[in-house]
A and B are shown apart, each in its own frame.
Chain A
Amino acid sequence: MIENRPFVTVLAHLTLILGVAIVAFPIWITFVASTHEAARMTQVPLPLWPGDQFFTNLKTVLFDGVGGSNATPVWLMMTNSLIMAMMISIGKIIISLMSAFAIVYFRFPFRMGFFWMIFMTLMLPVEVRILPTFEVVANLHMLNSYWGMSVPLIASATATFMFRQVFLTIPDEMLEAARVDGAGPMRFFWDILIPLSRTNIAALFVILFIYGWNQYLWPLLITTDSGYFTVVMGIKQMLESAEQSPDWHLIMMTALLAMLPPIIVVLSMQKMFVKGLTETEK
C-alpha cells in the first residue's frame, strides 16, 4: 500500500465483493435449484433460498438418472468422466515426459523434425478437424470406447514444451554425476528427472484433469452407447430431451455434480493450479 486512502480501500473491497457476487451467483442458483422439488421449480418466481430436497434429488439423479426409465444414472456418467479425465491427463503427462526427455537429452536423427511435428498439434485443435478425425477413429473401431475418447486427445505440445523447459533448467552436472555412478538413460530418467519435475507434474495434472473432465464435443461425437456417456454430455441431453418442461431441479443437481470434481481439484490445489496455468500458458 502506497498511501492511506481509506475511501479507495473500501471502494476496492466493495468492487471485489460485487465481482465475487456476480461470479458466484450462477453457482448459488444452481445449488438452490437442486434443493427443491419438481413442483416448486415450475412456479415463478423461482426460489433464491435452498429447500429441503437436496438428498432426495441427489439420490434420484445418481441412481435413476434424468429423463425416463431408460436414462443413464449419473453415477455411471461420473465414472465415465473420471476414467476419461484420468486417461487424458495421465496419458498426456507420460507421453510428453518421454518425448521431452528424448528431445532434450539425446542427439538423434530427425530430432528437430519430431519437435516441430509435436509443435504442429498446437495448430490443429480438434474443433477444426472433427469430421476427418471422427472417420479415422471410426476406421480404427475405436467408437464407443474409453480409448477412442481419450487417445486422440493426448498429444500435447504445451506439456512437451513445459517439460522441456523444466529439463533445460536441470544442471548438466546431474547427468555427469549419474553417469559417473554408472546410471543408464532410463535410470537417470526415473531416479533424477522425474523426482525433480514432481511439482511441475502435479501442476500440469490439475490443468489437464480439468481439461479432460470438461471435454464435450469429442465424446459427444464418438459415443452413441449410453454406457459411455460422460456427465458433461449428460447435461446437454437432459436439456434437450425435456425441451418442453425440463426437470430443472434434477438437471441443476447434475450440473452441480458435474462441476464438483474440477472445482474441488482447483480449490484444494489452488497453488498448483495457478502455477500450472501460468507456466503452461493454457
Chain B
Amino acid sequence: MLKRVHFGPSLLPFLLVAPQIAVTLIFFMWPAGQALYQSFLIEDAFGFSSEFVWFENFQVLFEDKYYLASFQRTAIFSLSVAGMAMGLALLMAAMVDRIIKGVMAYQTMLIWPYAVAPVVAGALWVFMFDPTLGIFAYALNTVGYDWNHKLNGDEAMLLVVFAATWKQIAYNFLFFVAAIQSIPKSLIEAAAIDGAGPLRRFWTIIFPLITPTTFFLLVVNIVYAFFDTFGIIHAITQGGPAKATEILVYKVYNDGFIGLDLGGSAAQSVILMGIVIVITVIQFRYIERKVEY
C-alpha cells in the first residue's frame, strides 16, 4: 500500500496526518474511552461522587426487560427495513433492466429520497398518517380502519418502518442496477436460447450472481436501520407509544440525555460499539466487493 516510489522520512507526513489524527483522538478515541470508563461507574443522583462497580451496569442492563425488549425491537425494525427496502429496490432494478427507453428518467425519479434528511422524512410520513388530518389515515378511516399510531404501538412501528424504507430504496436501487448490469449479457442470452423465461432467468442466473451485492447491501441496510434512523424515530414517535419504537440508539439518547443515567447509557454505548465493530469486521472480511488491505 506504500508506493514503490515514495518520499523519505521527514516531518512533513506527520504534519499531513496531524489534523485527521487530532480530530480522531479528541472526538473519537477519547469519548469512546470515556464511554468505556463510565460504563464501569455508577454515579449518585447529584453527580457528586461515583463508584467503580465493574460490570454491574452491564449486568443491570441484561436483566432489564426494557433493554432486552429494545434489542428485540431493533432486530425486528432493522430486518423489516432491510427486507422491504431491498425487496422493493431489487424489483425496480430488475424492471429497469428489462426496459430500454427512459432508464435515466426512472432513475432520476427514484433516487431523490436519498437526499432527504431522516427527520424530514419523518415529518413527511407523520403528516401523511396524522390520525386526525393525515391523508392516509383519512383513507383508512373511510374503509373502516381506525389508524392511530400515537396510541397503537404496532402501527407506530409500521410507520417508522415505512419512513425508513422509503428513504433507503434509492441507495439499494442504484447498487442493484449496477450489479445487474455488470452480468455478462451472453449468460442471459444462453439461458434465453435454452428456453428460460424472464422469471426463471432472474431466479436462476441474475439473483445468484448478484449475491455479493445483496449481502453487502444487507449489512449496509442493517447499519442504516441501527444508527441512521434516529431522526425518523425522533420526529415520528419519540420512541413511543409505551416504548414501542424505542430502538437501541434511541434508548442510549433517551437514557443519557433525558434520563441522565450516565453509567447505564455508557454501558449501552459500549454494547453498541461492540455491535458496530462486529458488523464492520464482517463487512471487511467477508465481502469481496470491498477493497483489500
Residues of A within 8 A of B (CB): 1-3, 5, 8-9, 11-13, 15-16, 19-20, 23-24, 26-27, 29-30, 33, 41-42, 44-46, 48, 94-96, 98-99, 101-109, 111, 114, 117-118, 120-125, 127-133, 135-137, 140, 151-156, 160-161, 164-165, 167-168, 172, 175-176, 185-186, 210, 213-214, 216-217, 221, 232-233, 235-236, 239, 248, 251-252, 255, 258-259, 262-263, 265-267, 270, 273-274, 277-278, 281-282
Which residues does chain A contribute within 8 Å of B175, judged by CB atoms? 278
Cα of A210 to Cα of B133 in the assembled complex, Å: 31
Known: A210-B114, A217-B230, A235-B120. A103 touches B1 (CB 8 A): yes
Question: When the two chains form their complex, are residues B265 and A131 in contact, meaning their CB atoms are under 8 A apart?
Answer: yes
Closest 7 CB pairs of A and B: A214-B117, A132-B31, A262-B115, A132-B34, A106-B13, A102-B16, A152-B27
Question: When the two chains form their complex, are residues A104 and B3 in contact, meaning their CB atoms are under 8 A apart?
Answer: yes
Known: A26-B124, A168-B1, A216-B117. A108 touches B21 (CB 8 A): no
A3 to chain B, nearest CB (A): 6
Cα of A124 to Cα of B277 in the assembled complex, Å: 8
The answer to whether B209 has its CB under 8 Å from any CB of chain A is no
**For the complex, would chain A's binding face be called helix, strand, loop or mixed by DSSP majority?**
helix
Binds A, one of B60-68, B73-81, B249-257: B249-257
Question: When the two chains form their complex, are residues A235 and B280 in contact, meaning their CB atoms are under 8 A apart?
Answer: no
The answer to whether B207 has its CB under 8 Å from any CB of chain A is no
Question: When the two chains form their complex, are residues A2 and B192 in contact, meaning their CB atoms are under 8 A apart?
Answer: yes
**For the complex, would chain B's binding face be called helix, strand, loop or mixed by DSSP majority?**
helix
Interface residues of B in 213-269 (CB under 8 A from A): 216, 220, 227-228, 230-231, 234-235, 249, 252-253, 256-257, 262, 265-266, 269
Pick the contact of A123: B133, B235, B276 (CB < 8 A). Answer: B276
Residues of B within 8 A of A (CB): 1-10, 12-14, 16-17, 19-21, 23-32, 34-35, 38, 88, 91-92, 95-96, 98-100, 102, 106-121, 123-128, 130, 132-135, 138, 166, 169-171, 174-175, 178, 185, 188-189, 192, 198, 201, 216, 220, 227-228, 230-231, 234-235, 249, 252-253, 256-257, 262, 265-266, 269, 272-273, 276-277, 280, 289-291
